[in-house]
């Protein structure tokens, strides 16, 4: 099962993607986590990414696309994946479409976590406090929300046209959202059977 999770900061994508990974036995690939791992390792990419992320800007497409392509070619992603934090703009979505086509794969569903900005901001700030994420300050989160509305919302419309977009009411509790997700994924399984 090849899945994307899309939505604004604080929508709960990471929380639910980890649960999907665990329940369905497919890797959760978070672009943000991959970038933070590069930073922690002190790689050249990590240093470049750290400077960019500290300002709330998006990492350049060519770096992100290369990293994602490398990840999806790995053995454990052969039977599926949950991709989180990518694509963030139309150029990345089109690159992902080409990448998957070249790998002989297709997306099964795009889970769209729809949540109001004020809820997402509150959740992201709480997450930053709990996880000690220094890149999640109020100003940086607001900047990312602005970028999300300008650059990522068109990605949602790109995937809506495929008929595979699954809108979720992400303002609910973790369990309410999980129930929506499992209903959608169960229906996918029935359609594939």
- How many helices (H) and strands (E) are present in the chain, helices listed first? 9, 5
Q: Give ∠ CA 3-104-106 in degrees, rounded to 5.
A: 25
What three-state secondary structure class fits 30? strand
Question: Is residue 19 flagged as an active site residue?
Answer: no
Please identify which of the residues 48, 105, 127, 143 carries the catalytic annotation: 127
Q: Is 88 a catalytic residue?
A: yes
Q: Which entry of 18, 133, 142, 143 is annotated as an active-site residue?
A: 133
Does the annotation count 98 as an active-site position? Answer: no
Between CA 68 and CA 76 the distance in angstroms is 14
Let me know if 13 is a catalytic residue: yes
List Cα–Cα distances, 65 to 46, 146, 190, in angstroms: 15, 22, 32
Catalytic residue list contains 133: yes
90: Cβ–Cβ under 8 A, 6 or more apart, which residues?
Answer: 151, 154, 155, 158
Report the C-alpha gap between 37 and 29 in whole angstroms: 12
Please tell me the distance from the alpha carbon of residue 111 to that of residue 28, in angstroms, as a whole number: 14
Catalytic residues: 13, 88, 127, 133, 144
């Amino acid at each position: 099962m090849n899945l994307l999770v899309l939505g604004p900061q604080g929508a709960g994508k990471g929380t639910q993607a980890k649960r999907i990974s665990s329940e369905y036995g497919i890797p959760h690939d978070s672009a943000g986590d991959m970038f933070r791992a590069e930073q922690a390792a002190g790689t050249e990419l990590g240093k470049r990414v750290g400077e960019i992320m500290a300002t709330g800007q998006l990492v350049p497409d060519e770096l992100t696309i290369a990293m994602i392509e490398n990840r999806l070619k790995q053995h454990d992603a052969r039977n599926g994946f949950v991709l989180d934090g990518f694509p963030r703009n139309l150029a990345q979505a089109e690159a992902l479409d080409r990448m998957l086509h070249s790998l002989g794969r297709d997306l099964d569903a795009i889970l769209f976590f729809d949540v109001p900005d004020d809820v997402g901001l509150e959740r992201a700030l709480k997450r930053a406090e709990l996880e000690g994420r220094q890149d999640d300050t109020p100003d940086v989160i607001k900047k990312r929300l602005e970028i999300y509305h300008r650059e990522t919302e068109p990605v949602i419309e790109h995937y809506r046209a495929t008929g595979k977009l699954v809108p979720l009411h992400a303002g609910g509790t973790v369990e309410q959202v999980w129930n929506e997700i499992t209903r959608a994924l169960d229906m996918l399984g029935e359609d594939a059977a």
